[in-house]
Chains A and B, each alone.
Chain A
Amino acid sequence: MLKQFYFDKFEDRKPYSAIPDNKYRSLLFQFTGIVTIGLGIAYLNWRWRFSLNPAALWFSIPLVLAETLSFFSTVMVVINFWSNKDAEKTPPVHYLSEIEDLQGMPDRPIKIDVFIASYNEDVELVRLSIIDAKNLNYPFPDVEIKIYVLDDGRRDGRDPAKENMKKVAEEEQVNYLIREHNQGYKAGNLKNAMEKTNGDLFAILDADTRAFPDFLVHTTGYFKKQKVAWVQTPQWFYDITDAEKLSSIINSKLKLTNKKLIRLSDFLFGKIEVNEDIFGNEPRLFYDVILRKRNFHNAAFCCGAGSIHRREAVMSLAVKGFVEEIKKLEFDLIKKKSDQLKIHPDSFGDLKNSFLLHQELIPFKFHASEDIYTSMMMHADKWESVHHPDVECKMLSTQDVDSWIKQHQRYAEGSLDIAFKDNPLFIKGLTWRQKLCYFNTIWSYFAPLWILVFLFCPIVFFFSLTLPVKAYSFDFFKYFLPFQIMNTITITLGCWGISTKRGDQYYISSFWFMLMALYSIARGKKVKFNVTPKDRNFSKSTEHILPHVIIIGLSLLGVAYNVVLLMIGHHPAASGFAANAFWCIFNIISLSVIIRAAYWKPVETNY
């Protein structure tokens, strides 16, 4: 009897279909993208040269600077979304010679390993992933498919306080691998597995990744192109929260028992649905648009779970890294330390051998963002990647604000750490398009810097009654409106078929956590690999939303103050109030989503 989970009721959900490619839409996007960039340049030129309020440069300059930085994002989005170029789908691989140049070596059917990485997840949850992995189809019976549970939590029965992962693996008759430390986090866990296995291709699944039966059938064919190093499939979260009827929420919050009141509430609010994907977990915009369109630039990076890799590619990078590390150590020793250590030239050979013995082959970069970091290095090494557009596995999403923040802060800190330590713009081997795509990912984590300005501008206006522009003249709108409208049309075309509503809201409301990530990296704090919890935790969620509550509170207070000034006829800039009030409404709508998420509980548990 399998354990019951909250997501059992979502088992029958079907994944989305990838948006069909349309070359006319791509052409239209390219046209509107170029027009948007042109209008943006004209707008910013006018803003910097003619619109600054000389009496309030302290206010004008931060805003126009924020607008300029935000415009860079628009330019990079246009480049990223420029075209769609899905890789050609081919039948699955049978023999090794189809994917590798054997150079006279005897041919044989390929070997595939399936790694299920686990750390502290519920063993019964991992069992579900194992069962689905065991059901993987492959049309050639002589192709060996081995499943491995990579347990980094050392749950082999030695600690009675922990669940027994080894037992579950044995019950399910799959291989169980363990190591005695957690060095390198997930990358270290994969390294350990690669040392003990020999598949020509290996798939990476997380503890909660449930592969569909045709996962391998649909993905291995890409490796017939011998430069393809990995194939990433979209991560589809099948437990995303459904829309709830507003009347049900009101009834449960007010604990209504009176039937007439319930009927009235149903009549008034029964048709209104809210809270759909309240945690903004829908990853379709990322996988079906951002990552998929990077196929065109050969810059689609690996996201870990749901990917399949060519061992040769990963190992070749590891060997190169190994050689470079040895050379570096040798160079350091000869050039810098020989005098101080007074080492005899004859003993250099011994020291070099000692380095060779102690240095390890590291297939995946030991980093909190090991996926993107390794992808970047593989691309720099001239390997190619494929983003497969169709969903081939299902996963669980974060189910509370704490976990959501933890997960997104790790992404942010990891990416920012790469920016400061190994900036893609300066990595040799990457094409300029790849550099721009990787930089775009990193740049997006700097967004809180300008989002903060956008959030505070209306508040500053409400209390200082100072305009950040000279005037809301016709000229302002002549430049501002065409740019904004064209920008909206361009983004809509780029993301055609996908609602960006929740994504936009979370882009703004995550400003505080991203700012904290930026601050922590700027201080040189080491990035920790936090494993994303796979269960629900509603207890501590409210502590993170204080900045959001403060900004919303100040905004509402400012509106009230300005309304009073208008009513008594003492408002010096009524048009400025109208403009900032609209702006403020958008800010409040965006920020409020995380507050709602923090207090969210499934309606049925409230009764």
Chain B
Amino acid sequence: MQLIGNPLKQIIKMEKYHFLLKPIFFIFSLLFATWLVVKIEKISPSDFGKYESYVSQEPCKPDNLPANKQYLKNLCSDYKKGIIDNILLEQKLTFFLDSLKKDSKK
């Protein structure tokens, strides 16, 4: 109780925790920077989806169902991870479905 009435003692007690200022400031800066970057990214997407994915492979023949299933899984996973965007996803799906159609006609 005595401490509450003595500002000097309060300051001395608080000084013990000055070392926390830097990490707290750093964490808040990180959070703020992240929020800002994500906000800007929504307004003006940068190179998002411009590049080919390393992990997605080209579709296989229609009779190779497990491989095709894996290809679709990879596409979904890439999309979820943000490696490809919805435009590229649509392009790849269209290409995949077209190639399936062509192969089945043959």
Contact = CB atoms under 8 A, between A and B. Distances in A.
A484 B30 contact: yes
A475 B30 contact: no
Given A572-B46, A578-B36, A472 B41 contact: yes
Given A50-B81, A472-B46, A572-B46, A481 B23 contact: no
B27 to A, nearest CB: 5
B54 A53 contact: no
A477 interface: yes
Interface in A466-511: 467, 470-477, 481, 484-485, 488-489, 491-492, 495-501, 504
A54 B54 contact: yes
A494 B48 CA distance: 38
Contacts of B22: 499-501, 504
Contact of B16 (A474, A477, A497, A504): A497
A471 B46 contact: yes
Nearest to A471: B48
Contact of B26 (A55, A488, A572): A488
Which of B27, B38, B43, B46 has most chain A Cβ within 10 Å?
A: B46
A574 B82 contact: no
Interface string A34-73: 0000000000000001101111000000000000000000
A573 interface: yes
Contacts of A496: 19
Which of B38, B47, B49 has most chain A Cβ within 10 Å?
A: B47
B31 interface: yes
A603 interface: no
A576 interface: yes
Interface residues of A, number: 39
Contacts of B44: 574-575
B4 interface: no
A575 B20 contact: no
A24 interface: no
B10 interface: no
A347 to B, nearest CB: 68
B52 interface: yes
Contacts of A52: 54
Interface string B2-32: 0000000000000010111111001101110
Contacts of A572: 46-47
A582 interface: yes
Interface in B89-105: none
Contact of A50 (B18, B43, B52, B55): B55
A579 B33 contact: yes
B40 interface: yes
Nearest to A499: B19
B31 to A, nearest CB: 7
Contacts of B19: 492, 495-500
Contacts of A586: 29
Nearest to A481: B34
Interface in B49-74: 49-52, 54-55
B37 interface: yes
B83 A470 contact: yes
A507 to B, nearest CB: 13
A481 B30 contact: yes
Contacts of A501: 22
Nearest to A505: B22
A472 B37 contact: yes
Given A471-B46, A472-B38, A492-B19, 17 more contacts: A470-B48, A471-B41, A473-B81, A488-B26, A488-B27, A496-B19, A499-B18, A499-B22, A500-B22, A572-B46, A573-B47, A574-B43, A575-B37, A575-B40, A576-B46, A578-B36, A579-B37
12 contacts: A50-B54, A54-B52, A54-B54, A55-B51, A470-B48, A471-B47, A472-B38, A474-B82, A488-B27, A574-B46, A578-B36, A582-B29
Top 8 A-B pairs, shortest CB-CB distance? A473-B82, A573-B46, A475-B82, A575-B40, A499-B19, A582-B33, A575-B41, A471-B48
